[in-house]
Structure 1
Amino acid sequence: MEDGTRKRRQALKRGRISEYVAAAFLILRGYQIVTMHFRVGAGEIDIIARKRDLICFVEVKARATTDGAITAVTGESQRRIHNASLAWLSRQPDGSSLSLRYDIIAISPFRLPKHFLDAF
């Protein structure tokens, strides 16, 4: 197997594990996980979580530092997440009555996840 292919697979595995860590973190804070890995042509959302009438669209980033995780969520990725969230909302019967928030959860080695509310 090529080195680049191996590194890509390891990165994908690390990303998936980080998403499950983030989901467990949210559950411990009273959120219900509605779906994970929501994907449409417009983009992808790592986690969609709910707390009462609040829907959180959560981007999970695993980086060496918290700052690195935050800066990894570029304007382009924010636009794709926002577009995917509109597609998800259009499929919800109560979509118009929900409050929305776009969060980031930063996962760094040997640290608790850091949750940035209303990050973008």
Structure 2
Amino acid sequence: MRRWRSSTRTERRKNAERHGHRGEALAALFLQAKFYRLRDRRFKTPVGELDLVTEKGGTIVFVEVKARGRYTDEALALGAVNRSRITRAAQYWLARHPGESGKDIRFDVIFLASRRWPRHLINAFPAI
């Protein structure tokens, strides 16, 4: 039976999504080992999705996870971070959790690459 191109794209998309979910799980474990408290995972909003929402020392940390096949792709991954989308999604999360409004917030990025230790970029970008 002949395979259609769309099914191949669908399979690639599913594989990429599974890879991303594994990366988020690894990043969550990594942060928990650093004594971050996991507040939310894959929080969906009308403006986008937050990979991880954590808390440490009274600061709410919104974490974007970027998993790449090679460590050298880190600069490209940082450029691919859609800061305005993440900031708007964070504002939505804060609106849904009014008890957290007095806390400081921060935006971090975690880079994951094969056979490398995760790299945690603290305060990767300011809120827009």
TM beyond 0.5: yes
CA contact (8 A) 1:53 1:97 kept: no
Alpha-carbon RMSD: 1.2
Q: Which of 36, 44, 47 is matched with 1:39 structurally? A: 44
Q: Using the alignment, how far apart are the partners of 1:44 and 1:5 within structure 2?
A: 20
Q: How far is the alpha carbon of 1:93 from its aligned partner?
A: 3.3
The answer to whether the aligner puts 1:22 opposite 2:27 as a matched pair is: yes
Displacement over 4 Å in runs of 4+? none
Structure 2, unaligned stretches of length 5 or more?
none
Structure 2 residue aligned with 1:69: 77
Structure 1 or 2, whichever has the larger Rg, is 2
Structure 2 residue aligned with 1:95: 100
Q: Percent identity?
A: 36
More deviation in 85-94 or 110-119? 85-94
| Paired AA for residue 31 in structure 1 | Y
TM-score w.r.t. structure 1 length?
0.91
Q: How far is the alpha carbon of 1:60 from its aligned partner?
A: 0.3
The answer to whether the aligner puts 1:104 opposite 2:109 as a matched pair is: yes
Structure 1, unaligned stretches of length 5 or more?
none
Q: Using the alignment, how far apart are the partners of 1:96 and 1:5 within structure 2?
A: 40
TM-score w.r.t. structure 2 length?
0.86
CA contact (8 A) 1:69 1:107 kept: no
Q: How far is the alpha carbon of 1:96 from its aligned partner?
A: 2.4
CA deviation digits over 1:41-100, x for unaligned, max 9?
011100000013101000001112222322221xxx211110111111112233221110
CA deviation digits over 1:3-30, x for unaligned, max 9?
2111111100000000000000000001
